[in-house]
Amino acid sequence: MGSHYEAPIRKPLVTGNKSYHQISVDVARPIEGVANKKWWIVFGISLILFMWGIGCIIYTISTGIGVWGLNKTVGWAWDITNFVWWIGIGHAGTLISAVLLLFRQKWRMGINRSAEAMTIFSVIQAGLFPVIHMGRPWLAYWIVPIPNQFGSLWVNFNSPLLWDVFAISTYLTISLVFWWTGLLPDFAMIRDRAIKPFQKKIYSLVSFGWSGRAKDWQRFEEVSLVLAGLATPLVLSVHTIVSFDFATSVIPGWHTTIFPPYFVAGAIFSGFAMVQTLLIVMRKVCDLEDYITLQHIELMNIVIMITGSLVGCAYITELFIAWYSGVEYEQYAFLNRATGPYWWAYWAMMTCNVFSPQFMWIKKLRTSIVFSFVISIVVNIGMWFERFVIIVTSLHRDYLPSSWTMFSPTFVDIGIFIGTIGFFFVLFLLYARTFPVIAQAEVKTILKSSGDNYKKLRDKK
Amino acid sequence: MANKFIHAVYDDDDKLLDAVKDLKENKVNIEEVFTPFPVHGLDHVMGLAPTRIAIAAFLYGCVGFTFALLMINYIMIVDWPQNIGGKPSFSFQENMPAFVPVMFELTVFFTGHLMVITFYLRSRLWPFKKAENPIPETTDDKFLIQIPIYGNESKIKSILKKTDLFKMSVIDTKKENNEEIDNVQSNVQDQNLEITIGFVFHSRKYSDGSSNLRIQFTKGRGQQYAKNSGLRIFRKHWISKKNEVSDKHADYIKINKSLNALKTNIEKAKNKFSNGSIDFDDVYKSIIN
């Protein structure tokens, strides 16, 4: 057992005296069982929200973007706020699966599958907004550099919006293959346990005939490692490029060099908050408290605390630089943010993102499940307000005071946003009932080093 | 290719590693090892060559980078240079910083996807591909070594018996009946053709409290499997002595009728098996259709 040694000071990551077989049974249980009433209720509500969102999207496309609350001064508002919010949420998954893999953090094993699922589902939501905002979404393929009937009409490779097209499509597809490759052995486990013929057929199909040969595993591990090495700069690049959408413009409040690291930290912050929200519920509902332990929740809280502090640092730096630059437009943009008509949004952002995570310094609070859940919701709200503040308050009072205005969303703006939340939960709830939500093959590799039973056995010696 | 194999099954990754080491020391050819998760150091012990997929990935990255370079140069510089904000537009070099994001993304895109496609093709993984693990438990908690036999059966068996074996079986692709050896009684199995067939309940309950009734087939000590009977029954109303449900169960007449039909099928199947006209693994087929 020498090769399975782990320092006794490290807390167990798998509790409840598990054997390899027990892990399979626990992971397969939500798939093999039947959905309870609560699942159907939540699924029903999500589906209704999703349908409402689809209605609003159809209304927007058939009537025009005029049905949104945009005006000639504020030409970007809820749509791009929601886009950046969803993209940000989508950052935790790859961070957990890629960056934590490179750092050999064993606690990622319990949560990476769901975090990656969350990433893919939220990037899908994010992608909807630019496509809808195009006005004619059936022409969305025009953003791809393909030879066309208009002569030498190409997309502009100098534009951050086009960089975004490449960044987000690469991010979505790479995350998808990373996720699916990791799923193969787990689908195979479900396939080999399945007793219903239909279930067996479906899981045979999606497991791609995975058999678990030694050579397959060797390649599997190498592919995971290289993909992690690729996904790490990728995840940083995606939100960097999203921030370029703003930073390369000449709008006071947007035109700052701090945007890329500030956006990346914010993305990780909001992503972890969403993972926390989802997993605190899922571990309870799917009976997975032995795999997503209090230790996992505490570590995620620490990440939330650190990234929250980084974001807070960025907010203050922005204010300082605005003052220090001596540019009066820049100074006004920030003064207006904090004390102008949208002061409430600014202070909601400050309270939710900078002050609330500071409670996590206290051990008692960061190991409290209820408190963690509340803070995760607060952070989700705060990060939405951050994007709203950056976008709307920088635009609504521009260089020309005669065109100063306010933005208020219409029911369509709100409906589409609510609809994406519904769509996200529809996907996540379906996932939770049909996919192995814990990367069981990977958890089995750390059982002997981080399982509570094995740790106790070593302590006795 | 050998027609005969030994399947040595272990229930622990460390036991498996020790066994592979023993076999390698005795110069036994190991054809394949199936494991439910990546066993650290197994490829090293087995003497597998390191995978070259990372090298392939690097080459794919070079392809992606070159593709991006050529594409952007053609589109932005050669085919239709444009004046965008007064930036230099007729030289790739001076315009290059604005192209870095797309060049990076395309490099990652090509590397990631082509590497994964290579992995899937080399490891023969694709939709509708049939799984090739000899026993389904190797994706759960069992570890299996597949050893081809070229007339050295007894030698391999004696090596394996010294290891911490869970189960061992000899698979002959030409013969129908395969020998199976348990760790507990590693001498020759009694070749009796007696099988027992009984009813068991599935451990998982439906939300209403009922569970699937299964038929369990047992042969000797080693072989056992269960199949769904297609009946869903409340366990509290089951009379195990009579193998039927009590009159408190809803639809008890109908259920007992189908149970009786199953019981007659079971008797027929037992007879067929002792005649030797069907295999143990196919017994269920003559009961449940």
Instruction: Tell me what ipTM this predicted complex has.
Output: 0.92
Query: What are the tens digits of pLDDT across the range A43-87?
Result: 999 999 999 999 999 999 999 999 999 998 998 899 999 999 999
Chain B residues near residue A174 by CB distance under 8 angstroms: 108-109, 112-113
Token pair for residue A329?
């437009």
* A291-318: average pLDDT: 93
B105 part of a folded domain: no
Establish if B249 belongs to a structural domain: yes
At B131, the amino acid letter reads A
pLDDT of B212 = 84
What CA–CA distances, in Å, run from B163 to B12, B27, B30? 12, 15, 15
pLDDT confidence tier of residue B186, bands split at 50, 70 and 90: very low
Amino acid in position B212: N
Please judge whether A244 and B38 are an interchain contact, meaning their C-beta atoms are less than 8 angstroms apart.
no
Is residue B225 a part of any domain in this protein?
yes
Mean pLDDT rounded to a whole number for chain B = 84
Nearest-5° Cα angle at A117, A114 to A120: 155
* pLDDT of amino acid B188: 37
CB contact under 8 A, A223 and B115: yes
pLDDT of residue B99: 92
pLDDT given for residue A460 in this prediction: 77
**B96 at A interface, C-beta within 8 A:** no
- H/E stretch holding A262: helix A259-285
Q: How far is A401 from chain B (nearest CA, A)?
A: 26
What's the pLDDT at B175?
A: 66
CA B275 – CA A390 distance, rounded (Å): 82
Residue B247 located in a structural domain: yes
Closest CB from A19, A157, A214 relative to B76:
A157
- Angle at which helix A259-285 crosses helix A108-133, to 10 degrees, equals 120
Cα dihedral A223→B132→B125→A127 (10° resolution) = -90
> What pLDDT sits at residue A116?
92
| Closest CA–CA distance from residue A372 to any residue of chain B (Å) | 31
Q: Is residue B30 part of a domain?
A: no
Smallest CA–CA distance from B79 into chain A, residue: A152
When pLDDT is averaged across residues B31-50 and rounded to a whole number, the result is 91
- Beta carbons of A95 and A178 less than 8 angstroms apart: no
Q: Do B112 and A230 touch (CB under 8 A)?
A: yes
B209 and A CB contact within 8 Å: no
Residue B172: closest CA among B289, B4, B7:
B4
- Write out chain A residues lying below 8 Å of B202, CB-based: 195
Range in A202-216, A297-311, B15-29, B257-271 with the lowest mean pLDDT: B257-271
Contacts of B236 (CB under 8 A, 6+ apart): none
Q: Which of A38-42, A278-282, B24-28, B79-83 has the lowest mean pLDDT?
A: B79-83
Mean per-residue pLDDT for A39-44? 92
Nearest residue of chain B to residue A202 (CA atoms):
B128
Residues in chain B: 289
Q: What is the mean pLDDT of residues B256-261?
A: 84
Question: How far is it, in rounded angstroms, from Cα A399 to Cα B87?
Answer: 25
pLDDT for A4 equals 82
Give me the residue from B75, B109, B202 closest to A145, CB to CB. B75
pLDDT at position A50 is 96
- β B195-205/B211-219 pair status: antiparallel
Which B residues 100-129 touch A at CB under 8 Å? Answer: 101-102, 104-106, 108-109, 111-113, 115-116, 119-120, 122-129
**B158 occurs within a structural domain:** no
Residue A33, pLDDT > 80, answer: yes
Q: Residue B187 has what pLDDT?
A: 37
Q: State which residues form the domain around B256.
A: 195-286
DSSP letter at A391?
I
Average pLDDT, stretch B157-163? 88
CA distance linking residue B256 with residue B247, whole number of Å: 10
- CA A183/CA A174 separation, integer angstroms: 14
Amino acid at A279: L
Q: Is A351 helix (H, G, I), strand (E, B) or coil?
A: helix
pLDDT of residue B184 exceeding 50, the answer is: no
Question: Is residue B109 over pLDDT 80?
Answer: yes
Cβ contacts from A onto B, under 8 A: 210
- H or E stretch including A217? helix A214-247
How many domains, in total, are found in chain B?
1
Q: Radius of gyration of chain A from Cα atoms?
A: 23
**What integer is the mean pLDDT of A124-140?**
92
Q: Which of A154, A217, A244 faces B35 most closely, judged by CB atoms? A: A217
Task: Report residue A151: phi and psi, to 5°.
Answer: 75, -135
Binning pLDDT at 50, 70 and 90, where does residue B182 land? low
Q: Which residues pair with B215 in a beta bridge?
A: B199, B227
Q: Which of B204, B85, B263, B58 is nearest to A33 (CA)?
A: B204
Contact B119 A166 (CB under 8 A): no
Chain A: nearest CA to B185, how far in angstroms? 24
pLDDT of A293 above 80: yes
Most confident of B159-168, B178-187, B226-235: B159-168
Identify the residue among A192, A200, A248 best suited for mutation to test binding to B, counting B beta carbons within 10 A and taking the highest. A192
pLDDT tens, A347-399? 999 999 999 999 999 999 999 999 999 999 999 999 999 999 999 999 999 88
Tokens found for residue B18: 């020790």
Query: What CATH number was assigned to the domain covering residues A2-145+155-460?
Result: 1.20.1630.10
pLDDT, residue B267, reads 82
Q: So what's the pLDDT on residue A459?
A: 80
Q: Backbone phi, then psi, for B169, in 5-degree steps?
A: -140, 150
B51 with A157: Cβ contact below 8 A: no
| Interface contact A158-B84, CB threshold 8 A | yes
Strand pairing category for B244-245 and B167-172 = unpaired
Our CA angle for A240, A243, A249, nearest 5°, is 130
Q: Choose between A208 and B4: higher pLDDT.
A: A208
How does pLDDT run across A155-210, given as a tens digit for each residue?
989 899 999 999 999 999 999 999 999 999 999 999 998 888 899 999 999 999 99
Is residue B15 assigned to a domain?
A: no
For residue A92, is pLDDT > 90? no
- Taking residue A349's Cβ as centre, other Cβ atoms within 10 Å add up to 23
User: What percentage of chain B carries pLDDT values higher than 90?
Assistant: 29
A16 Cβ contact partners less than 8 Å away, ≥ 6 residues apart: A22, A289, A290, A452
Of all residues in chain A, the percent with pLDDT exceeding 70 is: 99
pLDDT at B180: 62
Looking at CA atoms only, how far is residue A129 from chain B in angstroms?
21
